[in-house]
Amino acid sequence: MPRHANFIPQGVIPACLLPFNEDLSIDEASFRHHLSDVASVAGISAITINAHATEVASCTVDEQRRVLEITQDEIGKKLPIVNGIYAEGSVEAARLARMAEEGGASALLVFPPGPFTLGQRPEMALAHFKRIADASSLPIIVFEYPLAGGQGYPLDTLVKLFDAVPTIRAIKDWTPNVPAHEKNIRTLHSLDRPVNVLSTNSSWLMSSLVLGCKGLLSGSGSVIADLQARLFRAIQSNDLAEARRLNDRIYPTAEVFYADPFVDMHNRMKEALVLLGKQKRAVVRPPLMKLSGAEIERIRVALVKAGLLESGARSAA
C-alpha cells in the first residue's frame, strides 16, 4: 500500500534527475542528496521518478526498482512518489505497475507505448490502460504526447479512457498546440468525474498554467522547483504581476533547457545543478553525451539571469 493513499495528482510535481558515477553506475549518495534538496522546497505536492528526467530509457528494471527503493527511503514519509511506467508493451507496463505499488509509490505516470508511433486505435489504448489498472490500484496519470508523433491520444480517446478506467485521475499534457491544450483543460475538468490536467509545457509554463491547469509535472522542477511553486501559487491567487515577475526569472532557464536538440534538456539540467554547487558531476548515459563548454557557459549565463547564480561564478568546463 502507498504511504500517501489518498493522493490526488495536482499541484507542483518536480521530476527528479538521476546522478551517475563516471562508470555510468547510479550515484546513490548524490541521488539521495538531490531528492532531499528538491523535497525540501515549500509548495510541492509530490516527486516523480523513473521518468524522462531519470533517463528511464537507459535504466534496467532492477535499476528502476532500486531508484524507487532509494526514493521511498529518503523522502517517502514526507511526499507522495509518482513512479513512471515506461514500457514498449502492455504486459511489461503491468509488471512495472505492480512493482511500483509494492514499492510504496502513490501514483503511476504511464508513458505511451512505443509501437503507437506507427499508429493506434482507441481500443488499443483502452486495453493498454485496463491491463495496467488490473495490475495496480494506484491513481494513474496519463502522459499525453503531441498527436503529431502518433503516441498522443485524441481527445475522444482520452474521454473513452476515463470512462473505462476510473483510476485515471490526471493527464500530464504535452500538447504543444495552445487551442488544443485549452480544449483538453476545459473538457477534462468539466467531466462528471473531473480529470486533472497537469502542464508539462515548461517552455511556456506561465501561459499554460493561466489556461487553468491544476498543476504541473516537469523535469525543470529538478532545478527550479521553488520558482515553479511560487508561480503556480501566484496564478492560483490571480496575482498576475507576481506571476509575470516570476516568469521573467523562469524564462532564461526554459530558453536554455529546452533549446535544440530537445533530447538534451535533462543533460542541461544536470549541468545546471553542478554550476549551482548541488551536484558533483553531470554524467549522462549514452546515447546522450557530455555538453560542450560553450553550451555549459550558456547555462551559466541563464542561471545568472534567473537570479539563481552570482554573476562572478564560472563554469568549470
Give tens-digit pLDDT for 111-142. Answer: 999 999 999 999 999 999 999 999 999 999 99
Q: Set out the domains of the chain in order of their start, with CATH numbers.
A: 11-237 (3.20.20.70)
Q: Which residue has the cell 509509490?
A: 105
CA-CA distance, 51 to 68, in Å (whole number)? Answer: 11
Check if the beta carbon of residue 36 is closer than 8 Å to that of residue 222.
no
Give tens-digit pLDDT for 202-226. Answer: 999 999 999 999 999 999 999 999 9
Give tens-digit pLDDT for 52-108. Answer: 999 999 999 999 999 999 999 999 999 999 999 999 999 999 999 999 999 999 999
Instruction: Using alpha carbons, list the distances in angstroms from residue 212 to 196, 206, 253.
Output: 10, 10, 23
Closest CA to 302 of 263, 276, 282, 264: 276
Check if the beta carbon of residue 201 is closer than 8 Å to that of residue 213.
no
Element of type H or E holding 231:
helix 221-236
Give tens-digit pLDDT for 224-238. Answer: 999 999 999 999 999
The structure's pTM equals: 0.95
Instruction: Using alpha carbons, list the distances in angstroms from residue 221 to 69, 95, 206, 282, 316.
Output: 21, 28, 14, 17, 23
Q: Which three cell numbers stand for residue 255?
A: 530558453
Instruction: Using alpha carbons, list the distances in angstroms from residue 261 to 128, 267, 289.
Output: 30, 11, 12
With both helix axes pointing from N to C terminus, report the angle between 221-236 and 265-275 in degrees, rounded to the nearest 10: 100
3-state secondary structure of 233: helix
